[in-house]
Every structure is written in structure tokens, then in C-alpha cells.
Amino acid sequence: MSGRRRLSLNQRLALAIPYLWIAAFFLAPMALIAKISLSHSVLARPPYEPRFALSDTLAAFWAKAQSLTFDNYRALVSDNLYFDAYVSSLWIAAVSTLVTLFVAYPFALAMARSPRAWRPFLIGLAAAPFWTSFLIRVYAWIALLKDEGLINTALMALGIIDAPLVLFATSGAVIIGIVYSYLPFMLLPIYAALEGQDPSLREAAADLGATPAQVFLRVTLPLSRDGVIAGALLVFIPAVGEFVIPDLLGGSDTLMIGRTLWNDFFANHDWPAASAVAVVLVAILLIPLLMWERARLREEEGRR
Amino acid sequence: MSRSANAARIATLSLGFVFLYAPIVILAAMSFNASRLVSVWGGFSTKWYAALLENELLLQSAKISFAAALLSAAIATLLGLLAAVALARFGGFRSRMLFFGAVHAPLVLPEVVLGLALLSCFVALGVGRGFLTLVIGHVTFTMCFTTVALLAALRGCDPTLEEAAMDLGATPAKAFVLVALPQIAPAMASAFLLAFTLSLDDLVIASFATGPGATTLPMRIYSQVRLGVSPQINAISTLLLGAVAVALGVSALVMQAGRRRGL
């Protein structure tokens, strides 16, 4: 819809309210972050010098504009800490997304193939933990994974191991935490895709001589593609910027970018560095997403 | 379905639900453990619940969390409704793309980024942080969820009913309130509930957006968890889980009753 339309007065009023809110508390703050990421760290440290004072003359504004620097971005590139944190965040998020997929797919398939009357109950049961506190669910894993935790206690009591396994404060613990916390985000879209499939397609494939494995690989799996992609995005994107899970379950050697940003901001009070980290993080996530969306639109247009 | 496929299905479901519920069940069991240690069962006791009732700080934070969640969910539902109406009914107005993008962007933004942006904005504006900025932060980050939920509901409404009302002389606004709004009332309720849950559960945005006077429950729990595992946290967690279970049960019953009335 490219045709522009003039709105009535009522419509304008209705639009203005959410628009103003978004402009004031989302667009302006994001612009501010971009601006802070370009300033000197000393200048921008609290007590923070207001950057957009209304009393500024044009000359003062110009002087401030000239003080912009790309130093913070240069620091991001030259400091291995940041580079390693980005890479390790992307890596942990990717592995977690893959593990979540392998846990969620059979689970979703089993639900979708259950008797129809049972499905709403099963879906409710699977979604219920999502409605309970995220922090509490992550915290519960500490009690399971610690050296004197329940997994190690149980394994030692059974005589399977002699010394406790190091589970807590590792990257593995972070991955378990992410898989557990984000499982519903993967489970529900895949279930929706599988539940909507026409069973006669599978029957037709089987009648034509396909083995159950072939039916799965050539009918069920391709038809659930959209659910898998949606689930993977819903897990991967928040996992890259995750702060709580690596902070509670990860060790001091588990580098993730959300935690680095948090430290730069709350511990080092280096606003420009934290802002630069945030801008790059958004770019890393948004650019591939926009490119994927554009490719999808083009594919749709090509089909028409 | 063959018997082996059926057995595999049941085994998969069981494993999945054990994975989902084991940590929660263990947490709840530990809240009744007289021993302070996680791995040692010291007998049944409710002493951690008693200690909880005397923990003024924790109770105060719970109050702040609930108040902020109620207020921000109400505002986010109203703003989300207006935004969804604009996107669903106003056609291709100017800057529609920008509006659409800005409304949906917080969905794909890491929470730390939005939190940082909000805090920078509050500091730049010279606003003291506290309950008000907490609510503003939560409205901003939950509003995209309410908009998406309400937009889907509005698109599912039959527009001919509203057109009929307007043919009969109702103004567009009146037609919307009298015809479309009742149709999307269940979606409004679920959008409110979604925003309420997100706000109640949020740690990251709250840490950036609030000040010393308005510490939320997740912030309090987070700081205590970092200091060491406390059975009191198990107790308050179990209470919260119980509250959620009751709320889910009630909403299921309400939905059942509604279905029986043929709604």
C-alpha cells in the first residue's frame, strides 16, 4: 500500500498518542545511544553533560557535533575482549538454538500427533512454565548444577562418578539455561506448523512406498520449515543479548556481550563504550534480519 | 498409528515434561526443607515461609512489582490498541512504515540495549528515576507485544459489521467502540495479561529504569541469588508459582464456562 491517505482529525489524534510515546521513549533514546557512542568517554561520564540542551546556540551545537569521534568503535575492534565477547555470544546462541531445535522438534511432533482432545491440555502444560518467573526458573538450575547440587549428589549416590562433575559456572550451563528458558519459543511455532499439516499428504507418500523416515524427511520436515525458522529466530535473537543466564549460570570465563555491556555501564560507568557495544549488537542482529525479510518479500513477489 | 510409534510418542512427551518441570518441582520441594543445604533433606518445615513474612524489603518489592505491572499493563494495552487500530484501519498513511518499524522494533531488540537507551534518555532529560520511570520503561517494552496481539485480533474481525453500523448512521469512532471493541475484548484481556506477566517478570529493563526507591521483586531476588542460595527465595518462588497456577486454573475454568455458553 503505497497510496498516501489523509487522515481525519479523530484518526490523527488516535495515531498521535502511541506515536508520541514511541518517539519519546524509543526513537529518541535510541538516537541518543547512537550519539553517546560517538562521544569521548570523559565528556560523557556522569554527571552527564546534556547533549541536546534546548538552550544550545547553533555554534555550541556545531562545536559539540565536531567533538564526535569514532574512538569507541575503534576500541571495539582493537580490544580483543569485545571481539571475543561478540563471537562467543553468537557461538553460544547458535549452539543453544540448535540444541533447542533438537529438543523441541520431537516434543512438538509428539504433541501434534497426540489425540486431538489431549492437545490443548498438552500445549497448556508446555507453556505454563513460560508464565512463571524467568529468573526463578534460571535460579532453579543453580540448585541442580552446583558441585553439591542434585545432579552430582544423585550421580555420586548411584556410584556412577566419584568426584562431582564441573557443571555449574561453565558455558555448558549457560547453554542448558538458554535451552530450558527459551524452549517454549521454539516449541510453539513448530507445534503450530506440524499441527496444521494435512495428514493425507503423509498417507499419500506412504501409499507410494515411502518408508516412515522418508515420509518425515520429504514431507513432514519441509512443510514445517516456517515454524522452525520462526522458532530459531525467537531463540537466537534474545539469546545473543542475554544477560541474566550467563550472569547466574556462567563462569567468569563465559564471555557474553550482554554481560560486557552491563559491566561497562554499571561497573566501569563508561557510557560511550557501552553505547557503542549496543549499537554494534543491534547492527549484528538487525542487518541479517532485514536482509532475510527482503529476500522473503522478493521470493513472494516472484511467485505472484 | 503403530504401537511402537505410540510408545515413542509417550516416551518423548514424558521426557519433555520432566525436563520442563523437574527444576520447578525441586525448587518447590526445597522451600519446605528444614536444612539450609540444597542436597541435604533436614525434614519438613515451613520456617522459610515464616521468615518471608517478616522480610519487609521483599514484601515491599513485591508490592512495587505488582503496582508497576498493573499500571504499565493497563497503559500498554491502551497504547497497543490505538497503535493496532492505526495499523489495521487507517490504510497507507504517511510514515506508516516508520511507525510500523518503531512499534515492532523492541520485539527483536536485546533488553540490555533498550534498558541502556531508556536510562540515557531519563538522565538526559534530568528526570529522577523511580516508580514513574519504571512504569514508562515497562510500557515501552511491553507495548510492542500488546500491539502485535491486538493487531492480529483486529485483522480477524469482520469489517462489514462496522460498515453496516456506519451505514445505519454511526460515526466511525462509535462504530468501532460499539461493534469492533466487543469482538476483540478477549484479545484485550490476553494482551493485558501478557503485558502484566512480562512486567512482573522483568529484571533487565527494571534495573536500568528504576531508582533506589522502587526496587522490584525480580531485582531483589536477583541481588539475593548472587549473594548465595537462600531458602527464602525458594519459598517466595513457590508462592509465586502457586499464584500463577491458580491464575491459570481460573482462566481455564472461565474459558470452559464461556465455551459451554456457546461463546
Residue A246 has pLDDT above 70, yes or no: yes
* 3-state per-residue secondary structure call for chain A: CCCCECCCHHHHHHHHHHHHHHHHHHHHHHHHHHHHCCCCHHHHCCCCCCCCCCCCCHHHHHHHHHCCCCHHHHHHHHCHHHHHHHHHHHHHHHHHHHHHHHHHHHHHHHHHCCCHHHHHHHHHHHHHHHHCCHHHHHHHHHHHHCCCCHHHHHHHHCCCCCCCCCCCCCHHHHHHHHHHHHHHHHHHHHHHHHHCCCHHHHHHHHHCCCCHHHHHHHHHHHHCHHHHHHHHHHHHHHHHCCCHHHHHHCCCCCCCHHHHHHHHHHHCCCHHHHHHHHHHHHHHHHHHHHHHHHHHHHHHHHHC
**Closest Cβ–Cβ partner in B21, B99, B108 for A19:** B99
- Whole-number CA gyration radius for chain B: 23
- Taking only the tens place, the pLDDT of each residue in B110-134 is 999 999 999 988 988 888 889 999 9
Q: Closest Cα partner for B134 from B78, B77, B67, B88? A: B67
Helix (H, G, I), strand (E, B) or coil at B256: helix
* 3-state per-residue secondary structure call for B119-147: HHHHHHHCCCCCHHHHHHHHHHHHHHHHH
Rounded to 5 degrees, what are φ and ψ at B44? -80, 135
Query: Which of chain A's residues have a Cβ under 8 Å away from the Cβ of B240?
Result: 132-133, 136
What span, in angstroms and rounded, lies between the C-alpha atoms of A255 and A277? 14
- Residue B262 — very low, low, confident or very high, per pLDDT cuts 50/70/90? low
Q: Residue A48 region, left (φ>0) first, then alpha (ψ -120 to 50), else beta?
A: beta
Q: How far apart are the first and last CA of chain A?
A: 16
What span, in angstroms and rounded, lies between the C-alpha atoms of B46 and B49? 5
Query: What's residue A235's pLDDT?
Result: 94
Query: What's residue A53's pLDDT?
Result: 52
Residue A55 has pLDDT above 60, yes or no: no
- Angle between helix B3-30 and helix B231-260 axes, rounded to 10 deg: 130
What span, in angstroms and rounded, lies between the C-alpha atoms of A81 and A24? 34
Average pLDDT score, chain B: 86
What span, in angstroms and rounded, lies between the C-alpha atoms of A229 and A238? 15
Peptide bond before residue A47 is cis, with ω within 30 degrees of 0: yes
**DSSP single-letter state for residue B33:** B
- For the entire predicted model, the pTM comes to 0.86
- The 10 Å Cβ neighbour count of residue B26 is 17
Helix (H, G, I), strand (E, B) or coil at B2: coil
Residue A56 has pLDDT above 60, yes or no: no
Query: Which of chain A's residues have a Cβ under 8 Å away from the Cβ of B83?
Result: 18
Using alpha carbons only, give the angle B222, A281, B101 rounded to the nearest 5 degrees. Answer: 100
Sequence-distant (6+) residues with CB within 8 A of B148 are B104, B107
- Taking only the tens place, the pLDDT of each residue in B182-223 is 888 888 988 998 899 899 889 999 999 998 889 999 998 888
What span, in angstroms and rounded, lies between the C-alpha atoms of B147 and B156? 14
**Nearest residue of chain B to residue A17 (CA atoms):** B79
Is B93's CB within 8 Å of A271's CB? no
Query: What's residue A103's pLDDT?
Result: 96
Is B117's CB within 8 Å of A281's CB? no
**Nearest residue of chain B to residue A47 (CA atoms):** B123
Query: What's residue B35's pLDDT?
Result: 77
Q: Which of A224-238, B135-149, B152-166 has the lowest mean pLDDT?
A: B152-166
Determine contact: B241 vs chain A, CB below 8 A.
yes
Select from A1, A2, A20, A25 the residue whose CB has the most chain B CBs within 10 Å, as the one to mutate to test that interface: A25
Is B86's CB within 8 Å of A30's CB? no
Average pLDDT score, chain A: 84
Query: What's residue B79's pLDDT?
Result: 96
- Residue A51 — very low, low, confident or very high, per pLDDT cuts 50/70/90? low
Query: What's residue A213's pLDDT?
Result: 87
Is A238's CB within 8 Å of B111's CB? yes
Across the range A39-64, mean pLDDT stands at 58
Residue A48 has pLDDT above 50, yes or no: no
Whole-Å CA distances, A177 to A72, A100, A251, A255, B9:
32, 11, 13, 15, 25
Distance from CA of B168 to the nearest CA of A (A): 20
Distance from CA of A148 to the nearest CA of B (A): 6
Query: Which of chain B's residues have a Cβ under 8 Å away from the Cβ of A8?
Result: 172
Determine contact: B25 vs chain A, CB below 8 A.
no
What span, in angstroms and rounded, lies between the C-alpha atoms of B252 and B246? 10
Report B:31-50 residues touching A (Cβ under 8 A): 37-39
Report B:84-123 residues touching A (Cβ under 8 A): 85-86, 90-94, 96, 99, 102-103, 105-106, 108-114, 116-118, 120-121, 123
Q: Closest Cα partner for A18 from B102, B256, B231, B228? A: B102
- Taking only the tens place, the pLDDT of each residue in B34-77 is 877 666 777 788 888 888 888 888 889 989 999 999 999 999 99
What span, in angstroms and rounded, lies between the C-alpha atoms of A25 and B117? 9
Q: Closest Cα partner for A188 from A224, A223, A217? A: A224
Residue A48 and residue B124 in contact, taking contact as beta carbons nearer than 8 Å: yes
Is A131's CB within 8 Å of B94's CB? no
What span, in angstroms and rounded, lies between the C-alpha atoms of B256 and B263? 10
Q: Closest Cα partner for B150 from B247, B76, B230, B242? A: B76
- Taking only the tens place, the pLDDT of each residue in A148-201 is 777 887 888 888 888 787 888 888 999 999 999 999 999 999 999 998 888 888
- Assigned C-alpha cell, A177: 539455561
**DSSP single-letter state for residue B93:** B
Q: Closest Cα partner for A103 from A168, A190, A173? A: A190
**Closest Cβ–Cβ partner in A28, A124, A242 for B121:** A28
- Taking only the tens place, the pLDDT of each residue in B98-109 is 888 888 888 888
